[in-house]
Amino acid sequence: MTAALEIADLVVEYDAFRAVDGVSFRVEPGTTFGLVGESGCGKSTVLGAVAGRVREWQGGIRIQSRPVAASRRSREDLRLVQMVFQDPYGSLHPRHTIGQTLSEPLAIHGLSDHDPRIDEALDQVGLPLRFRYRYPHQLSGGQRQRVAIARALILKPPILLLDEPTSALDVSVQAEILNLLKRLQRERSLTYLLVSHDMAVVAHMCDRLAIMRAGRIVEESDPDALRSGALENSYSRLLAAG
């Protein structure tokens, strides 16, 4: 089976600091792959390289078998992966209505029929269509994150990059967003690359996971090993134990 995403010997350096040091993994279509580790371990930098936000890297990134360049991405490449950010308020323009926010990626990519696409995106994430006329400050944190997911979905990408998608939300809302993401994955056969430091979220969401430390993957495993404490690497076990 062709991988949805392949990373090979990825290296990212900032001046003399190597933030990502030879990371490799493969994500199968329709699955969720988690990158786990402490702050500063390089997991979000990997996500940024896949998204095209980090533009200087070495190694290989293939998205649905298409090799992508570090410095320049085609519009078609950029439509294959979309990101959901950690902060659902900071990622939305405070002076734009939800409708304006959702229409922006459509305009950038030259797509027409904005109104039906916006209505479909809102419906998919469980928000009333009247929300298109509201502003971010008029929504709860969970509703804002639903808008962020709708914005990521509106271009119909096969892959979503999830950067700590529930860490800024109340515990009671986190489960709603995670269940929404799982439902959307089933309905649309989406592939997720999830970055998180929350082992419970990773165990709930992921089919495979990689534990990172100091820019490297120290262990690749599965959620069963995570839940049972059967991880092989001593650092992995320490991280899982909290």
pLDDT at 71: 78
Give 41's DSSP letter. Answer: S
pLDDT above 90 covers a percentage of the chain that reads 72
pTM of the full structure? 0.94
Please state, in angstroms and rounded to a whole number, the distance separating the CA atoms of residues 118 and 151.
9
Mapped onto helix, strand or coil, the DSSP state of residue 113 is coil
Q: Which residue has the tokens 């696409």?
A: 117
Report angle CA 49, 214, 171 to the nearest 5 degrees.
Answer: 75
Range 184-196 average pLDDT: 96
The CA radius of gyration of the chain, in Å to the nearest whole number, is: 18
pLDDT at 1: 73
Please state, in angstroms and rounded to a whole number, the distance separating the CA atoms of residues 165 and 178.
8
The predicted-structure confidence for 152-166, as pLDDT tens digits, reads as follows: 999 999 999 999 998
Domain region containing 116: 5-240
pLDDT at 74: 82
Across-strand partners of 62?
Answer: 6, 67
Count of C-beta atoms within a 10 Å radius of residue 194: 26
pLDDT at 240: 86
Q: What's the domain count of the chain?
A: 1
Please state, in angstroms and rounded to a whole number, the distance separating the CA atoms of residues 104 and 92.
11
CATH code for the domain in which residue 137 is found: 3.40.50.300
Range 211-229 average pLDDT: 93
